[in-house]
Structure 1
Amino acid sequence: MRDNIIKFLSSICVSMLAIFLCFAVLDLIWFTFISGDWYQQEMQGLMRTEFIIWPWLAFYFLYGGVTFVLAVVANRDKPIYYAGIDGALLGLASYGAYNLTSYSILEGFSLFIMAVDWSWGTFLTSVCAMAGWAGFQKVRPKIDQK
């Protein structure tokens, strides 16, 4: 019993770590090698000269936790693609709320950036949810599985 509790808690930790690492690595690749210039060109007048880290960290820790609950835990007994679908839906709603609101109220927030960022967020959340699901399954106690 104690071993199962330890394994279950470990599966949560491994899943969360997989989600956070996936977000960090993919967003680093995205902003560094793929889209950084697009954001710089399209949002010149809106971007800070110095990046403030704490809001970014707060968002990703909160968002990673929500991804875990809504996409990983909700689909722990289903195939991985269910976590991917729920992750995509979460990304669609979350990044959609941000991008649609930004586009509607910020003069320099372009339709191009809205579409690119919204698509990226949907894809990113889906992949991170699947990484979290895989991490959860890796350590999950056998007694918990159906």
Structure 2
Amino acid sequence: MTTHDFRYSLLSPQHTLTECRALAPGRYQVTGNGGAIQAGDTLLVTLKGSRDLSMSLAVEKVRHLINPPGQWMAVASGPAFRELAILNWQVACDGCDQRIELEFAADASLGEKAYPAAAEARLQELGWASQRGQHLCPACKEQSA
């Protein structure tokens, strides 16, 4: 099916989200305009309170509204957060001392013990490597391979 990008960085008045709220952990109700959303499509949405984190939602069912024209409401599934926390940590490369301001999402209901695993997962998404407790930026990661 189709992927629809509704992240904040791509704002367009004809193609926007009005609301995205959690119905239960992993289930979301999304309301928006434009995009011709259908069941089976994927929605990319920015996480509330984040500069550049997004999540992918799989549309299960959609209802197109008559008024206003082009508006729709969908039920979608995605990451299951009981209590979403957006955190910022600073990480330094142990090879070249390059620093990154790391923004990542974690489930705050699991406590602080869940934060390191969420941070490591986000670092891997950004191309960094973690080996024996040391962090390597993408450039140093290539050199060590």
State the TM bucket, normalised to the shorter chain.
Answer: under 0.3
Q: Which has the higher contact order (CA 8 A, sep 6+)?
A: 1
Greater share of helix: 1
Say which one has the larger Rg. 2
Tell me the TM-score normalised to structure 2 length. Answer: 0.25
TM-score, structure 1 length as denominator? 0.25
Query: Would you tell me which structure has more strand in proportion to its own residues?
Result: 2
